[in-house]
Amino acid sequence: MPSTGHRSSWSNRWTFMLATAGSAIGLGNIWKLPYMIGVNGGSAFVLVFLACIVVAGIPLMMCEIMLGRRAQRNPVDGMQALAHEAHAPTAWKWVGVSGLFAGLLILSFYSIIAGWVLDYIVRAASGQFHGIDGATAKKYFNDFLAAPLELLFWHTLFIFMTLGVVARGVNAGLEKANKILMPTLLAILMVLIGYSMAAGDFARSAHFMFAPDFSKVTPVAVLSALGHAFFSLSLGMGAVMVYGSYLQRHVSIARTSIYVALVDTGVGLLVGLAIFSLVFANGLEPAAGPGLIFQTLPIAFGRMPGGDMIGTLFFVLVAFAAWTSAISLVEPAIAWLTENTSLTRKQSAWLIGITDWLLGIAVLLSFNKWQDVHLLFGLGIFDTLDKLTSTIMLPLGGLAMAIFAGWVMRANHVQEELGLANATYQLWRLTIRYIAPLAIVAIFAYLTGLIK
Ligand code: PHE
């Protein structure tokens, strides 16, 4: 593969790992995974989710990093160059194009939820949760959603935070932000776990999450766990590919993927343990759904000694996690713009920032003034974007990448880039050619049934 001239790269393998973990750990782990565990009956869902991470998640993460590093380009030009190398149609670049748009679409609603989190930092810090009950917590949340200007304020701030980092480039922006935010995030997480072990009902939480009860493993739980494994590991849209394109040649892709998957899953499970400890100790409902962290946890924070502090720390943790993920959502588009147009990184960041800011306005209005606007499948704007990206575009992108790496690229190129011993390579190849694609096709079968 010919080189593309000077290109930024991560300072070392740790910064790459931090950044990839930063991308993976986000609202998906802290906001979505716990409520999905709660809604899907606890331990059964956890076990299936873990199996999906091992069977499809890790092999696909290796695949995406491999594609990025071999191409040394943004996902669009990267897929095109790799297709050229394999004498395959250059139409494969559309996998990159679709990923780039998926990233922009995801950020438009991701930024709104991250905005809720920013608002809840202020609420927790100002003691607003003291002694509130379920009805009050719900009212706070609903009143907030009904106030477009407030939502707009936080959305604007989050877009500035995200593009502000990306504008500074790989080393001074992405790498530095992850170096500061990720260790802080892990430290806050430890404090929260320690606290919930001491003050919450940790034993019951652990039992709820880990005592295996296979009677609850339904087909729906299996497939939604698989879909969430993609979202949680940031797979299928080129974020991991573009991060891989900044990776030096000597770093082991397999080891990095396994570490990132372990940290991502570990954080999700630890946050879940902390949340359910507080939920059970306060007699709250584990199956509360998407409102879990916004409507349930404030009640627990309002009751506990030191709850203002713990609540503030919790929402800061979520904000940091969302921030490091959001950066990776726009990086494919920014890399494409800077490598293909005369725009500088800063100008590209403005362009993408404004685009996503406008898209986000449509999303935030869908919680109030445009509540009755329905797009695809009769869903509102927020739900349409969520479904379209996480359940259609990402799995489709993952499927295409698996097929490309497993069936289109030359096997010796793939093996050379992955640097795996033969037996491990054969195992990976088997997964990427058959197991992962079949699993993704199964998601689609489920989805078409769901959406109809
Ligand atoms: N993995 C992120 C999360 O769990 C979301 C994400 C998806 C980020 C796809 C980048 C790409 O919140």
Instruction: Assign 288 a pLDDT band (cuts: 50, 70, 90).
Output: confident
The predicted pLDDT at position 345 comes to: 95
Q: Distance (Å, rounded) from C-alpha 421 to C-alpha 431? A: 16
For ligand 1, the distance from its centroid to the CA atom of residue 102, given in whole angstroms, is 11
For ligand 1, the distance from its centroid to the CA atom of residue 232, given in whole angstroms, is 5
Q: What are phi and psi of 147, to 5 degrees?
A: -115, 90
For ligand 1, the distance from its centroid to the CA atom of residue 244, given in whole angstroms, is 16
Q: What are phi and psi of 402, to 5 degrees?
A: -65, -45
Q: Distance (Å, rounded) from C-alpha 32 to C-alpha 49? A: 13
Contact 307, 141 (CB under 8 A): no
Which residue's CA is the nearest one to ligand 1's atom 7?
234
Question: Between 23 and 386, whose confidence is greater?
Answer: 23
Asked whether the predicted pLDDT for residue 412 surpasses 50, the reply is yes
Question: Between 41 and 295, whose confidence is greater?
Answer: 295
Residue from 232, 233, 263 whose mutation best tests the ligand 1 pocket (most atoms within 8 A of CB): 232
| DSSP 8-state assignment for residue 31 | I
Is the overall model pTM greater than 0.85, yes or no?
yes
For ligand 1, the distance from its centroid to the CA atom of residue 408, given in whole angstroms, is 27
Closest CA to 242 of 401, 10, 65, 82: 65
Pocket of ligand 1, beta carbon within 6 A: 23-24, 26-29, 106, 231-232, 234, 237, 239, 325, 328-329
Residue from 33, 117, 264, 325 whose mutation best tests the ligand 1 pocket (most atoms within 8 A of CB): 325
Asked whether the predicted pLDDT for residue 15 surpasses 80, the reply is yes
Closest CA to 322 of 25, 36, 19: 25
Contact 93, 80 (CB under 8 A): yes
Percentage of the chain lying above the pLDDT 70 cut: 96
Amino acid sitting at position 270: L
Helix (H) or strand (E) run with residue 386 in it: helix 381-386
- Stretch 320-331: mean pLDDT: 96
- Do you know the residue count of the chain? 452
The predicted pLDDT at position 259 comes to: 94
Q: Distance (Å, rounded) from C-alpha 86 to C-alpha 413? A: 9
Q: Which residues of 320-353 are buried (b: 16+ CB within 10 A; e: fewer)?
A: bbbbbbbbbbbbbbbbbbbbeeeeebeebbebbb
Q: What angle do CA 381, 386, 388 make, to 5 degrees?
A: 90
- Stretch 414-425: mean pLDDT: 92
Residue from 328, 385, 401 whose mutation best tests the ligand 1 pocket (most atoms within 8 A of CB): 328
Q: Distance (Å, rounded) from C-alpha 71 to C-alpha 185? A: 32
The predicted pLDDT at position 428 comes to: 96
The predicted pLDDT at position 452 comes to: 43
For ligand 1, the distance from its centroid to the CA atom of residue 215, given in whole angstroms, is 30
